[in-house]
């Protein structure tokens, strides 16, 4: 017997309603904010991610699913931002459209140690707004993330924001951290010892208790921000307050990917466990578009992990399903006629099915019950002769003989898909 790969999941039909609810809620909200869907491939040149996320990023170092084909190295996409910027540049959207707002929904792949809320194939719902450095856009993107969470019926989350500043500020920040942490080097965990040389900002993010204690003692104050970046960050905070988004500012929030500059944010939720508490995250990446061959322009986006949204929501939105009408033909002639009736019902937009297992009347009724059918249409020889069906309301158990010409009206709007 084959088993699924650890860290992957079968999303079974009884779970799909919540997935569709989350996806459809997102689609309509993104449409309201004028974001257009984009669907890049799931597989890209590995170099795209090395270049965008940075060679020292944990995802690039340890987590990429790589496929070697002769000279070429491909990767299953570990995230969406790099692909979307690549698509924006490759398709000349910077020249034809300029400023563009995208959203995407789909699977991502990371070779992680699987646990609750951490998978190897997981799903992102995300957006990227490319072509502007206006802090008002940061406000739109962060407040849209907040509105989405409310629409998913998720409570008890915390929106944490910070600014990493421009590339120069980041450099200065790294240098000041280097000076502050140098003496603590022996007390850092093994991972952070490596991060010290390769990606020092990530030490601020470490979950190890002794590293956390050292980091807490640093008293960071966003002092690295230049005047422009400090002003922009103030405007983002003012804008968020004016549209009613609650947030916390944390100078300790850094993101593990090289492309981030300026505003970064993370949405934390207590239900997810100590090792991974983020429902979603995002930020500005004002140098990436140029880095990938496009114009020197700003961009910002975020992504939610759908599996984590579902863990955090006790009442995820779900698509209301139509009521099922179940046809039970008794005998061969009725069975032949049942095919036509089934076709007619469906043509009229009614959710309908039938027994394909040749069950007895009792067995078919039991099956209809299991399927939570609203009505059973029983067709025997008598009904066939009169062009009627015996219509049983499964909630009241009342039966009524209905002519086929009246049937669509009788079943009513409740059964329409």
Could you list the residues that contact ligand HAM (CB under 6 A)? Answer: 79-81, 110, 112, 117-119, 122, 124, 126, 128, 278-283, 301-305, 307-308
Q: How far is the CB of 257 from ligand HAM (least distance, A)?
A: 7
CB of 349 to ligand HAM, least distance (A): 37
- For residue 302, the SS3 value is strand
Residue among 42 and 223 whose Cβ is closer to ligand HAM: 42
Tokens read off for 65: 């699913």
DSSP per-residue codes, 78-141: S-SHHHHHHHHHHTTHHHHTSSEEEEEEEEEE-----BTTB-SEEEEEEEEEES---HHHHHHH
Q: How far is the CB of 285 from ligand HAM (least distance, A)?
A: 6
Residue closer to ligand HAM, measured from CB, 99 or 408: 99
The Cα–Cα gap between 182 and 186 comes to 9
**Closer to ligand HAM by Cβ: residue 276 or 344:** 276
DSSP assignment letter at 416: B
Residue closer to ligand HAM, measured from CB, 112 or 404: 112
State the nearest-atom distance from the C-beta of 328 to ligand HAM, in Å: 44
In sequence order, the 6+-apart residues with CB closer than 8 A to the CB of 230 are 163, 222
Question: Cβ-closest residue to ligand HAM?
Answer: 305
Min separation Cβ 296 and ligand HAM, Å: 18
Contact indicator for 388, 347 with CB cutoff of 8 Å: no
Nearer to ligand HAM, 36 or 366 (CB): 36
Contact assessment for residue 186 and residue 274, using Cβ atoms and an 8 Å cutoff: no
What crossing angle do the helices spanning 404-411 and 332-347 adopt, rounded to 10°? 50
Name the residue nearer to ligand HAM (CB basis): 101 or 110: 110
d(CA 203, CA 166): 19
What's the closest the beta carbon of residue 34 comes to ligand HAM, in angstroms? 17
């Amino acid at each position: 017997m084959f088993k699924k790969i650890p860290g992957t999941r079968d999303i079974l039909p009884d779970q799909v309603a919540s997935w569709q609810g989350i996806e459809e809620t997102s689609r309509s909200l993104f449409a309201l904010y004028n974001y257009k869907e984009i669907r890049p491939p799931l597989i890209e040149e590995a170099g795209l991610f090395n270049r965008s996320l940075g060679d020292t990023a944990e995802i690039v170092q340890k987590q990429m699913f790589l496929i070697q084909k002769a000279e070429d190295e491909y990767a299953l996409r570990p995230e969406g931002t790099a692909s979307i910027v690549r698509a924006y540049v490759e398709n000349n959207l910077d020249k034809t459209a300029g400023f563009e707002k995208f959203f995407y929904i789909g699977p991502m792949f990371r070779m992680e140690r699987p646990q609750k809320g951490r998978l190897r194939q997981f799903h992102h719902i995300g957006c990227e707004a490319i072509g502007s450095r206006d802090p008002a856009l940061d406000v739109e993107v962060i407040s849209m993330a907040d509105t989405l969470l409310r629409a998913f019926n998720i409570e008890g989350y915390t929106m944490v924001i910070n600014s990493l500043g421009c590339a120069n500020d980041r450099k200065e920040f790294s240098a000041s951290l280097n000076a502050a942490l140098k003496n603590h080097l022996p007390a850092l965990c093994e991972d952070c010892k490596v991060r010290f040389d390769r990606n020092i900002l990530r030490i601020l993010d470490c979950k190890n208790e002794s590293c956390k204690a050292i980091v807490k003692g640093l008293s960071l104050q966003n002092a690295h921000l230049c005047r422009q970046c400090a002003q922009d960050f103030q405007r983002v905070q003012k804008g968020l307050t004016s549209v009613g988004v609650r947030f916390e500012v944390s100078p300790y929030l850094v993101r593990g990917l090289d492309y981030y500059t300026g505003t970064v944010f993370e949405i934390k939720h207590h239900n997810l466990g100590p090792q991974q508490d983020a429902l979603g995250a995002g930020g500005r990446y004002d140098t990436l578009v140029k880095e990938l061959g496009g114009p020197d322009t700003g961009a910002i986006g975020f992504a939610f992990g759908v599996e984590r949204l579902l863990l955090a929501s006790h009442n995820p939105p779900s698509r209301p399903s139509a009521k099922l009408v179940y046809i039970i033909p008794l005998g061969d002639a009725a069975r032949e006629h049942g095919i036509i009736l089934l076709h007619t019902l469906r043509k009229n937009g009614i959710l309908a099915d039938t027994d394909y297992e040749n069950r007895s009347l009792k067995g078919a009724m039991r099956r209809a019950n299991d399927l939570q059918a609203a009505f059973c249409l029983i067709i025997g020889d008598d009904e066939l002769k009169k062009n009627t069906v015996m219509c049983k309301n499964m909630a009241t158990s009342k039966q009524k003989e209905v002519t086929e010409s009246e049937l669509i009206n009788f079943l009513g709007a409740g059964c329409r898909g």
